[in-house]
Each structure stands twice: as structure tokens, then as C-alpha cells.
Amino acid sequence: MFTVSINCFAEWREQARTLLMRGVTPKSISWQHDKQSALVFDDGIDFMSLPVLYQSLSIPKAFITMAEKVACCRDDSRWALLYSLAWRILFENRDLMSIEVDSQVVKALRMRKAVGRDIHKMEAFVRFRLIDSQCSNYGDYFSAEDEYYVAWFEPDHLILPIAVTFFIKRFTNMSWSILTPDGCAHWNQSSVMFTEGIHKRPDIDDSIEVLWLTYYSNIFNPARVKIKAMQSEMPKKYWVNLPEAPLIKTLMRNAGHQVDAMLEGASTQPWHKTKKSTFVMAAQKKMQAHTTKNTS
């Protein structure tokens, strides 16, 4: 039995390659992930000393792309699962990943989906707040002249390193930090830096937020309350970090009255002003025709 310790996808990829080349079966590996990324050899055997059985192994690129996502899943079984799939792709069926009814494939695809959704939700629900650069805890990484934005987010999975590329592409010319319990990413308009996670949401006010709340309240249509539809897309777990979420209750409570007032309220007779507006239009057309004639 070999025990292999893994911290990130790149490490897994490296180790998996070494193991696969030596034909080490999935069953004989125990995948660990503790902080020290040292290899522990049970039975006193260094697997590097095993003979290489397969010189060149080629894994479909699509699998690697998928594996990279699965690797972000906060699920301890992921490394073993990926290894087992890689093994089966190489030695059993190259098209394994197309068989989406195979239990292992199903499991991996579910994990990928969960990670994909988490990334998507992070792209959606991160909220930047503008603060003074002077307040940055990250020394001279940021220039004091630039506007500096900070966001706090709690992802379900270990997605920060992947998710950050979206923010870099979109907010290239802004300085910002995204803080999460698993790690923090900082962008100073030219390079990205990762630091240790923090465990408390920072306390920041942003004066624009009140406009956002105004917008949120007014774009809501009280005649169409569909709270379930909303919650399936924006589950409650995200609410703690969304500035607009505290409004939901009030908006819901007032919706009924608002609609009743609309339904029972005074209505206007049609065509009353229509005539007038058509009249105004006609008058304007005439005026315009007149001015263009005069200027030409």
C-alpha cells in the first residue's frame, strides 16, 4: 500500500503520472491530503524505485480539463476517484467519460458540476466595496493612488485559484482583493498574489450600496412574487454576504398591499390624452420639417 499526500491539482497530476507509468493499481494507493506535502511510503517501498512499465501515456485533454475542476471539490475522495478514472481510461476504455451512466463517471461529473456552479455563483455574488488604499493590509503591494476594492466571499469548494481568472479579465484595470476563509487573492493591475485565508468578514461601508438597494427594491415587481424560483437560484446560504438580501423580507411583506392598491386604484380613461399626444407629435413633425427647410 502506498500513501500519497496531495495539496493541489498540479501535485496530483505529477504523482498520478509517476504511479500510472509504473502500473500501480488504484486499489494499492491511499490518497491523503494534509498540509505537509511529503510522500509517505508504507511498506518501506519508494514507488519511484518501481520499474517503469509504460513510457508514454496519453490522457485525453478533456479529462484533464474536467479533473482540474473536480480537484477543487471539497470532497476527500476526489484524488482516488480521479486516479481510478485515469487508470480506467488508459487501460480499460478510452471513451469511458462518454459513458455517463457509469457510477464513477457520474460521481466525477456531479463533482465537476458542483464546482462549476460554485464558480458561477462566485462570479455572480462577489460584491466589491470601495475602500481607502491606505487601509490595505497588504503593504506596498497596492499603490496608494489607485482606487482599492475589497470583497469577502465564502465558497463551498476550493475554487479561488480558478475563479480568480474571471475577475482578472473583467477588472484588469482595478486594484482589488477577494478574501475567503480558504485563501485571499490580490490583484494590483499587473499581477496576482495569494495569501492565507482569513476567518472573519471585514467591516466595510460603501456609499454606492444604498443606490444598489434602491435599484433592487424598484426593479422588483410585487405582482409576480415567486419566492421559490428566486431561492433555487439564490439559496439562502448566500444571503449573509449579499447587501440586498435583508430587503427580501420587507419587499415580500409589502407586495400584497401594493398589488391590491394597483388593482383597486383609480384607472385612467384611454384615448383621453392619446389625441393630445398625437397632436403634439404632428405639431413637432411640422416644426421639424420647417427647421430643416430653413437650415438647408
Cβ neighbour number for residue 119 with a 10 Å cutoff: 20
**292 binding other proteins? (CB under 8 A):** no
Q: Which of 72, 82, 162, 248 binds other proteins (CB under 8 A)?
A: 248
| Span near other proteins by CB under 8 A; candidates 22-30, 64-72, 76-84, 258-266 | 258-266
Name the phi and psi angles at 95, rounded to 5.
-95, 15
Cβ neighbour number for residue 204 with a 10 Å cutoff: 15
Site for other proteins in 37-56 (CB under 8 A): none
**291 binding other proteins? (CB under 8 A):** no
Task: Give the separation between CA 106 and CA 117, rounded to whole angstroms.
Answer: 16
**194 binding other proteins? (CB under 8 A):** no
Task: Give the separation between CA 26 and CA 265, rounded to whole angstroms.
Answer: 71
Q: Which of 35, 199, 200, 226 binds other proteins (CB under 8 A)?
A: 226
Q: Which of 56, 58, 191, 267 binds other proteins (CB under 8 A)?
A: 267
Exposed e or buried b for every residue in 39-77, given b needs 16+ CB within 10 A? beeeeeeebeeeeeeeeeeebeeebeebbbbbbbbeeee
3-state secondary structure of 64: helix
Q: Which of 3, 65, 98, 143 binds other proteins (CB under 8 A)?
A: 98
* Residues 6+ away with beta carbon under 8 Å from 290: none
Name the phi and psi angles at 9, rounded to 5.
-60, -40
Site for other proteins in 152-191 (CB under 8 A): 166, 169-174
Decide whether 50 or 242 has the Cβ nearer to other proteins: 242
**62 binding other proteins? (CB under 8 A):** no
Helices 61-70 and 103-125 cross at an angle (nearest 10°) of 60
Total chain residues near other proteins (CB under 8 A) = 80
Q: Which of 25, 65, 214, 291 binds other proteins (CB under 8 A)?
A: 214
CB of 161 to other proteins, least distance (A): 18
| Span near other proteins by CB under 8 A; candidates 20-28, 75-83, 179-187, 264-272 | 264-272
Decide whether 56 or 268 has the Cβ nearer to other proteins: 268
Q: Which of 17, 117, 273, 286 binds other proteins (CB under 8 A)?
A: 273
Task: Give the separation between CA 73 and CA 76, rounded to whole angstroms.
Answer: 8
Sequence letter at residue 61: K
Site for other proteins in 128-147 (CB under 8 A): 128-130
CB of 237 to other proteins, least distance (A): 14
